[in-house]
Structure 1
Amino acid sequence: MSGPPDTITSSGQRARSELLRAVGYMVCSAAMFACMAVMIRLASSQLHAFEIAFFRNFFGFVFALPLLMHHGMGILKTDKLSLYVGRCLIGIVSMLCGFYAIVHLPLAKAVTISYSTPLFVTILAVLFLGEMVRLRRWTAVGLGFIGVLVIMRPGADTFDANTLVALTAAVLSAIVAISIKVLSRTEKPDAIVLWTTMLWVPLSLVPALFVWTWPTGWTWAWIVAAGFFGTAGHMFWTRALKRGDASMLTPISFMQVPIVAVLAWWLFDETVTAWTAVGAAIIFVANAYIAHREAQVASRAVTDADISPETQKR
């Protein structure tokens, strides 16, 4: 005998509400990170990518300070400091690679390659989070990697070694996504943002010192804006991952690609090549299918929990 219909309905509504909030947060995150990429490119006319990364983190921390004032120092209490440090070490290398790619590749191409991250997230979620991935999703992952190869075109005369830097950033970003998912099980989203921004500032200062040049004029506006958009994107991202599955939500941020493509065309007169467009379409289809399958799995899990033997005995 199943549980009361109103109990099942209420549980399903709560699950759908949480899913919609998670999706909304990830959409906002994508928009913020798209704007950050544009600010990085604007600042790169004067500054090295490593220095831009430092200023993004410095001003990102400044914009995160209201969170600390709101919650108080108690929010920094944690027994996961070693995980934070490890996550930030990987994250800063990923950031440096990603910023370097944004500066040295066409903007849409650099951002599109970064969206191979969900493919790696799916693999790592199986290895480290114990998530179940079946044949059809593995097929989608394989298709996504074909899309990456279409964009990078290894062996072709037009192959750019900087695409390997972008791919490295994507792999490391997937590790970061998994670590945030682990942290979000016990840590508050704002605590994750604060610890990350605090640790990133000194970690990014070291490589920046080797290429240091003081910014002037409008460059100050670009790096301040990069810090704001980066912190805002990070806040939305952690909230999304707190409420939804990593391999389901990450593909949603793919909408950053068309936003960046339009802005790059408008501001930098960049056009999207056919290879990038085809590769992006393949990666999007692969990520969309992964998200679809994850949603189905999550829905079945909620239904099974609602009609479990414990529920039936009520």
Structure 2
Amino acid sequence: MPSTNNERTAVVLGLSAVLLWSTVATAFKLTLAQFSPIQMLLVASIVSAFTLLLICGYQGKLNQIVPIFKANPKFFLLLGLINPFGYYLILFKAYELLPASQAQPLNYSWAITLTLMAAIFLGQKIRRQDWVACGLGYFGVLIIATKGDLLGLHFESPLGVILALLSTLLWASYWILNTKNKSDPIIVVLLGFLISLPFSLFAAWHEGHAWSHINWQGWLAVSYVGLFEMGITFVLWLSALKLTQNTARISNFIFLSPFISLILLSQIIGETIYPSTIIGLVFILIGLMIQQIKFKRHRSTSTTRSG
């Protein structure tokens, strides 16, 4: 049956996206060994923009880019400044200051941040389970940030922790702004990269860091980030969600990503994975899972009802 084939394809695409996203924390650290965060943002954005242009060309969407931008240029300018420019610049700086095994789980709390911001800016009701999820999630954040020293509240890099959490605010803001945007999501992401490029170029020029010391491994690593953190993986994920009839099942694949990422960081980069990181991550993921639970009111003889 076609629907069965679609589900199989959706699972393959969803798992592929998750596996690729699981590698980017390692790629971030390898890239930052040779690039500054601003240099990394510029090159990765160029790679991603070029990749998304090719994808839009293949899908026959190139003629939609300019009309979509002209329909609301100020909106797309704001989106581009938030993501990729602000979001990735701050995220890359957080990865530069923190071990990736800490920065990645901290950034993973963005979905909990989104719940709070949606209540403030969109007027969405926060359910009781959302408050529980937020409490668990940010308790997990505190465990990771202090390496389990909850009483001493000692942070290895306070600025790194602040930047990692600030990145969640920017990412959540980006999705809140997108809630009423009905344009093709791939084109929206592409426009963000195209708009942000002049700002990234100016920032890299103003920073004035040399480029001559970067070897081929560095260029390969930053190209990988542009392809698989910012480009192709996003398209794979959107395609999986479009094909599936069970969005929750595909969405749950994302919970695999942080654990695979920690394994890769340990084996490839040689980072020490602290028990506090695992414990804190578990709290964050439990919070995210609680958020996804839909409680239904079942009628039974034990419930109060009229008649």
Query: What is the TM-score when the length of structure 2 is the normalising length?
Result: 0.79
Q: Cα distance 1:21–1:120, how it changes in 2: closer, same or farther (>3 A)?
A: farther
| TM-superposition CA deviations, 1:257-276 (whole Å, max 9, x none) | 11211111111111211221
| 1:253-272 superposed matches below 5 A | 253-272=254-273
Deviates more, 1:51-60 or 1:142-151: 142-151
Answer whether contact 1:117 1:174 (CA < 8 A) is retained. yes
Q: Quote the offset at 1:37 in angstroms.
A: 2.6
- Name the residue aligned to 1:312: none
Answer whether contact 1:122 1:247 (CA < 8 A) is retained. no
Deviates more, 1:123-132 or 1:211-220: 123-132
The one-letter code matched in structure 1 to 2:62 is: M
- Name the residue aligned to 1:93: 86
- Name the residue aligned to 1:66: 54
Deviates more, 1:40-49 or 1:209-218: 209-218
- Cα distance between partner residues in 2 of 1:23 and 1:265: 27
Q: Does 1:39 align with 2:32?
A: no
The one-letter code matched in structure 2 to 1:253 is: I
- Cα distance between partner residues in 2 of 1:141 and 1:20: 33
- Name the residue aligned to 1:175: 173
Answer whether contact 1:50 1:211 (CA < 8 A) is retained. no
| 1:242-257 superposed matches below 5 A | 253-257=254-258
- Cα distance between partner residues in 2 of 1:83 and 1:240: 27
Q: Secondary structure at the match of 1:173?
A: helix
Q: Quote the offset at 1:221 in angstroms.
A: 1.0
| 1:108-257 superposed matches below 5 A | 108-153=101-146, 156-161=153-158, 162-183=160-181, 186-209=182-205, 210-214=207-211, 215-230=214-229, 231-238=231-238, 253-257=254-258
Q: Cα distance 1:57–1:220, how it changes in 2: closer, same or farther (>3 A)?
A: same
Deviates more, 1:48-57 or 1:131-140: 131-140
Q: Cα distance 1:286–1:278, how it changes in 2: closer, same or farther (>3 A)?
A: same
Q: Does 1:81 align with 2:79?
A: no
In the alignment, structure 1 segments of 5+ residues that lack a partner are 1-13, 301-314
Answer whether contact 1:180 1:241 (CA < 8 A) is retained. no
Answer whether contact 2:81 2:192 (CA < 8 A) is retained. no
- Cα distance between partner residues in 1 of 2:187 and 2:286: 34
- Cα distance between partner residues in 2 of 1:188 and 1:207: 29
Q: Quote the offset at 1:25 in angstroms.
A: 5.9
- Name the residue aligned to 2:279: 278
- Cα distance between partner residues in 1 of 2:134 and 2:12: 24
Answer whether contact 2:53 2:62 (CA < 8 A) is retained. no
| 1:274-313 superposed matches below 5 A | 274-293=275-294
Structure with the largest fraction of helix: 1
The one-letter code matched in structure 2 to 1:228 is: L
Q: Cα distance 1:168–1:27, how it changes in 2: closer, same or farther (>3 A)?
A: farther
Q: Cα distance 1:148–1:157, how it changes in 2: closer, same or farther (>3 A)?
A: closer
- Cα distance between partner residues in 1 of 2:117 and 2:241: 15
Answer whether contact 2:14 2:237 (CA < 8 A) is retained. yes
- Aligned pairs, how many? 280
The one-letter code matched in structure 2 to 1:74 is: N
Q: Quote the offset at 1:119 in angstroms.
A: 0.6
Q: Quote the offset at 1:131 in angstroms.
A: 3.9
Identity within the alignment, %: 22
- Cα distance between partner residues in 2 of 1:177 and 1:250: 16
In the alignment, structure 2 segments of 5+ residues that lack a partner are 299-307
Answer whether contact 1:47 1:213 (CA < 8 A) is retained. no
The one-letter code matched in structure 2 to 1:208 is: A
Answer whether contact 2:43 2:222 (CA < 8 A) is retained. yes
Q: Quote the offset at 1:21 in angstroms.
A: 8.4
- Cα distance between partner residues in 1 of 2:45 and 2:220: 14
Query: What is the TM-score when the length of structure 1 is the normalising length?
Result: 0.77
Q: Secondary structure at the match of 2:293?
A: helix
